[in-house]
Copies of this chain bind each other. A is one copy, B any other.
Amino acid sequence: MSKPSSNGPAVVDDESVLSAAPFILRRVVKWGDADAAGVVYTPRFLHFAIEAAESWFRRATGTHWVNLPSHYGIETPPIAANLTFHHALWPDDRLDLTVHLTKIGRSSYTVAVSGRNQDGVPCFDNEVTYVAIDPKARKSLPLPEALRGKLAAYQDACGRADP
């Protein structure tokens, strides 16, 4: 997905992906991510986690969430989430988000995202479970086998990287 630039200091990819397995996405905390206390507003952590999961899913499976209905006849909305906060984040902090696939169920998959700042300090942990549904009826469906295979391949690749 990278594209050369004729005028820039570097040829870069669309996003700052540090590692494919485990998938690590780098972002910078922004002015507008902060709340009245000057630190990142709590729901933004869930937003960061879901954006990291979206980028990971796109690369690990070759399909973006918006194309799940046409490619597989499903959508995969979250059914549960939890977050634990360890350390505040401030604007201009760097945030590295590591994505692990912790469970592949019959209809669901669970993604754990953890975030570290520029000093390597763990800032938050997060887990979101996504469930495959029929987009019209909104009833759960088994994960399509082809998709399950790609998710399992990501777990395997992480296992080899993180023995």
B14 and A20 form a contact (CB under 8 A): no
With both beta carbons as reference points, the residue of chain B lying nearest to A48 in the complex is identified as: B43
Q: Is A39 an interface residue (CB 8 A)?
A: yes
CB distance from A104 to the nearest CB of B (A): 19
- For A1, the chain B residues whose CB sits under 8 A away are 94
Known A-B contacts A38-B38, A128-B42; A82 and B81 likewise in contact (beta carbons under 8 Å) = yes
Distance of A77 Cα from B43 Cα, bound (Å): 12
CB-defined interface of A150-163 with B at 8 Å, one 1/0 digit per residue? 00000000000100
Residues of A within 8 A of B (CB): 1, 5, 7-10, 12-22, 24, 26-28, 30-32, 34-39, 41-44, 46-47, 50-51, 54-55, 58, 64-67, 75, 77-85, 88, 90-92, 94, 128, 135, 138, 161
